[in-house]
Amino acid sequence: MPSHSLVSDFRCVVLSTVAMILACGCAEFESSANLPQPSPEVSGQAERLAVGEDGSITHENVDFLEALNAPGKTVIVDFWATWCGPCRMLAPELEKVAKESGGQVVVLKVNVDEEAELAAQFGISGIPDMRIFRDQQPVSRILGFRPAAEIRKNLPQ
């Protein structure tokens, strides 16, 4: 009989693999027609990727609704979790998008484990799930991992 630790490790590998296949396999783009609007009643925290003059990236804790209000800029909200493999693969791609945008794209990261109420408001049922906003209005949604070039193609001009 296999040890409990081995069975537990096997379960983790299987569940992680299934989650990665589901998240990566269902990557798709959706227009704003069916996307929920942010509600002013729900509050939460996010990390904003801040690009320094030297191109370095820092993570700043910010109020979600305040950060979403970025007039004239596109805001990408990345719903993610630390245990999600595709989410970890997506992080450097979002950093590339932020760096290459010349300050025109704001990237917010919302940890669904820490901000469950915020994730529920947006109907997040799988991650990674990126929501694209322009002037606080939802524009599109990207499910699953996508490279930076593909993310940029789906941003409003």
Residues marked as catalytic: 84, 87
Q: How far apart are CA 75 and CA 61, in angstroms?
A: 16
Would you call 101 helix, strand, or coil by DSSP?
coil
Farthest CA pair distance, the chain: 62
CA separation (Å) from 8 to 3, 5, 19, 21, 84? 9, 5, 16, 20, 18
Count Cβ atoms within 10 A of the Cβ of residue 1 and give its class: 0-12 exposed, 13-18 middle, 19 or more buried. Answer: exposed
Q: Produce one character per residue of 30-44: b if its CB has 16 or more CB atoms within 10 Å, e if not.
A: eebeebeebeeeeeb
